[in-house]
Structure 1
Amino acid sequence: MRPLASHLRSAVAAAITLGAGALGGGVFAALGLPAAWISGALVVSIALAVAGVRIAVPEWIRFLAFIVLGTSMGTALTPETFARAATWPISMACLGASVLATMAGGALFLNRVAGWSRETAFWASAPGAFGTVVAMAADTSADLRKVAFAQALRLFLLVAALPNVLGATGLTAGGLPPPPHVSTALEVAILLGVCVTTGLGAAWLKVPGGLILGALAGSAALHATSLSSAVLPQAFIVPAFVVLGASVGVRFLGTTLGTIRAYFFASLGAFLVAVSISTLFALLAAWLTGDDLGKLVTAFAPGALEAMTALGFALGYDPAFMSAHHLFRFAGLSVALPVAARLLFAAVEEVEEVTRHAGPPEGEHTK
């Protein structure tokens, strides 16, 4: 009976999470807010988590949602999209510099201003790759509670606030265009079948964000070669946005008001430093490439790969551009962070060791 009771509790938690998320998304949509279904579901699910309500998003539902989102992004790709890729190396170079500067600025703030340890500040300031960063930080002396909270708060602020800031400044692309036609059930089934296969393949190959990016690649290949013209109905896409928002909110499980009070202002300050720096580099990239500033701000935003790629899609930006830039940032972080941490902290320890063993300045003994 215990397994049955456990399954029942999990089903109830999932129903509460997704039902409340859909309600929050509907309210945000009625208010005309950008990326309403994602941000509304996120805000409501976090409120439930902080209130101590058990919330959950089953893995199989996340799987379906990510496949749908990746498939939908792929349908928006056109030959013109790939023709514009000639400017991407410039923006990616700016993104690489942005990641370094963003992390340095955030770490300095958390260490020098907020008083967090060097290790904690380093991992808490990593711009995105939440799961990877927490896993790496677990093998160090960093305070995992602070690292996880800073990472989660940054993702929440990006998903919930960035669309509204862009909308208020007139930088959003205006939302997704309406589907060009209504596809038959068979067309949709074939498209989803291919994208499930490519999504699972990418996940099996350990590609970061494999489900979304694999499905996107499969859908893009079909549409770019005119093998398919199918599009997914809004009845598929809206629930996927709700699941995405709720999945981010689930990361706040176990967060109490005491934790929020203890870590909020330090994490908020680091977030503002990071966003300010990434926006400056987005401005530089926009000046160099002549590309849309809102798209670049979203592509440079230091959040999770899946969430930020889908957010850019929800805002109406080029999904190929979004996925390429966020994958570039994620892959770079995954490879560079362990090496950078080892070199940085080894250098710091060596300097401190030399300082400890150095004698007093010349003439000090005669005073």
Structure 2
Amino acid sequence: MPNILTFIPLGARRFLPTLILGGIGGFIAYVIDLPLPWLLGALIITTLTSLANVQLGSPGRLRQGVLIIIGVMLGSAFTPELTGDLRAWIVSATIMLLATAVMMIVAVLFSYRIAGHSLNTSLYAGAPGGLSALLMMAQESGADLRAVGITHAVRILVLLLAVPPILGLLGHVDLTSASNGPTQWSQLPSLSGTAWLIVAAALGVVAGRVLHLPNALLFGPALVSSILHFSGLTHAVLPPALVALAQIVIGTSVGVRFVGVALAEMARQLGLAVIQTLILIILAVAAAWLGQALTGISIAATLLAYMPGGAPELSLVALSLNIEPAFVTSHHLLRITILLMVLPPLVHWAHQRIRP
């Protein structure tokens, strides 16, 4: 009689222990009432395990599937009742782009002058978001891919760990009520609602690739789902249990990025990446205060929208905490799109003006 594991793809089998470990971490965090328990619990336990030099499997294609799920969930926030002031969103987006430019300048100078990286490495390590596309461009430029990857991984790690206490200090979000209770986990959409969500996922993947959207598996389904929900064709939302599973996969996918990182050998680089991220967080908080003052949009939403990087992770945080996910997602899509458009000419300009 064949073993049930033989029907599971090899990549999924390798990731299964990691997923179980992340689930244990999420459950512990849930029991002790940690904010964003399934995300942060999985993130913390897999990061610590990776830094202890324990080999963990990567989510691989499972993360891609989860990105599609997150995209569909984010699109459900674009309802006909969405009362966002378009003028306020435009003002906020302008502030976000200006803040992004300042943060990138600071991050690039920090990497180049203080961390001692090459110019190419500093440019790609300092870019706020779009890691997958950045790594491909960085490889073509001869940048240090390990330094770029570590800098972005540390940035996302610190951002996710810093968001709950910052939101708590701001006092604008009740983090204690953000977790789903066990009675809510069994909620399921209707059959017709499920069909619409599947349509949004399938068409979204195609649309994301045809339109060449950044992070197409996330923003493609988000775009199609938002059209379906905003038009009123469906009001279906995915069950909370699926949101928890998405948090576990995203949390572990961040934690396993530190597999193979020797803590003693990388201490300086990791420390500098943490310092750089903390500086960027201060700039993001300042920009968020300005955005809130000029637009009236909540400080929690502007903070998540202005954070430098981690579009899937921060959009999922906004969705999990119900902090204007449509607003946050729109800002991250705009930032990454413009970033990927301006980065190649920016790299060329930097090489013309900055000499080693």
By the TM > 0.5 criterion, same fold? yes
Q: Check whether the contact 2:197–2:236 (CA below 8 A) recurs between aligned residues.
A: no
Q: Give 1:299 shift.
A: 0.6
AA matched with 1:198: L
For residues 317-365 of structure 1, what are the alpha-carbon distances to aligned partners after superposition, in whole Å with 9 as ceiling and x for unaligned?
Answer: 112111110011101111111111110111224xx8xxxxxxxxxxxxx
Residue 311 (1) aligns with residue 312 (2): no
Matched residues in 2 for 1:187 and 1:197: separation?
A: 15
Q: Check whether the contact 2:318–2:328 (CA below 8 A) recurs between aligned residues.
A: yes
AA matched with 2:159: L
CA distance 1:90–1:16, shift in 2 (3 Å): same
Listed as ranges, the gaps of 5+ residues in structure 2 are: none
Matched residues in 1 for 2:117 and 2:268: separation?
A: 12
For residues 296-326 of structure 1, what are the alpha-carbon distances to aligned partners after superposition, in whole Å with 9 as ceiling and x for unaligned?
Answer: 1111001222222112212221121111100
Match of 1:276 among 263, 278, 282: 282
Match of 1:198 among 186, 200, 203: 203
For residues 92-123 of structure 1, what are the alpha-carbon distances to aligned partners after superposition, in whole Å with 9 as ceiling and x for unaligned?
Answer: 11111111100111222233333333333222
Q: Check whether the contact 1:278–1:300 (CA below 8 A) recurs between aligned residues.
A: yes
Moved more, 133-142 or 304-313: 133-142
Alignment of 1:1-367 (within 5 A): 10-50=11-51, 51-59=53-61, 61-81=62-82, 83-172=84-173, 174=175, 175=178, 184-205=189-210, 206-349=212-355
Matched residues in 2 for 1:188 and 1:227: separation?
A: 10
Q: Check whether the contact 1:14–1:57 (CA below 8 A) recurs between aligned residues.
A: yes
Matched residues in 2 for 1:10 and 1:213: separation?
A: 25
Identity of aligned residues (%): 28
Q: Which secondary structure does the structure 1 equivalent of 2:74 belong to?
A: helix
CA distance 1:121–1:294, shift in 2 (3 Å): same
CA distance 1:83–1:149, shift in 2 (3 Å): closer
Q: Which secondary structure does the structure 1 equivalent of 2:266 belong to?
A: helix
Q: Give 1:141 shift.
A: 4.5
Q: Check whether the contact 2:243–2:320 (CA below 8 A) recurs between aligned residues.
A: no
AA matched with 2:107: G
| Greater gyration radius | 1
Matched residues in 2 for 1:132 and 1:215: separation?
A: 19
Matched residues in 2 for 1:11 and 1:214: separation?
A: 24
Q: Give 1:79 shift.
A: 2.7
Matched residues in 2 for 1:75 and 1:38: separation?
A: 20
Matched residues in 1 for 2:59 and 2:331: separation?
A: 27
For residues 95-154 of structure 1, what are the alpha-carbon distances to aligned partners after superposition, in whole Å with 9 as ceiling and x for unaligned?
Answer: 111111001112222333333333332222111111222222223353322221111100
AA matched with 2:287: F
Q: Give 1:31 shift.
A: 2.3
Q: Give 1:279 shift.
A: 1.9
Q: Give 1:8 shift.
A: 7.5
AA matched with 2:77: A
Q: Give 1:68 shift.
A: 2.4
Q: Check whether the contact 2:167–2:173 (CA below 8 A) recurs between aligned residues.
A: yes
Matched residues in 1 for 2:229 and 2:346: separation?
A: 40
Q: Check whether the contact 2:213–2:337 (CA below 8 A) recurs between aligned residues.
A: no
Matched residues in 2 for 1:339 and 1:66: separation?
A: 29
Q: Check whether the contact 1:173–1:316 (CA below 8 A) recurs between aligned residues.
A: no
Normalised TM-score (structure 2): 0.87
CA distance 1:260–1:39, shift in 2 (3 Å): farther
Q: Give 1:163 shift.
A: 2.1
State the partner residue of 1:356. Answer: none
Matched residues in 2 for 1:259 and 1:286: separation?
A: 42
Q: Which secondary structure does the structure 1 equivalent of 2:222 belong to?
A: helix
CA distance 1:14–1:268, shift in 2 (3 Å): same
Q: Give 1:83 shift.
A: 3.9
Q: Give 1:90 shift.
A: 0.5
CA distance 1:11–1:213, shift in 2 (3 Å): closer
Q: CA-atom RMSD, angstroms?
A: 2.6
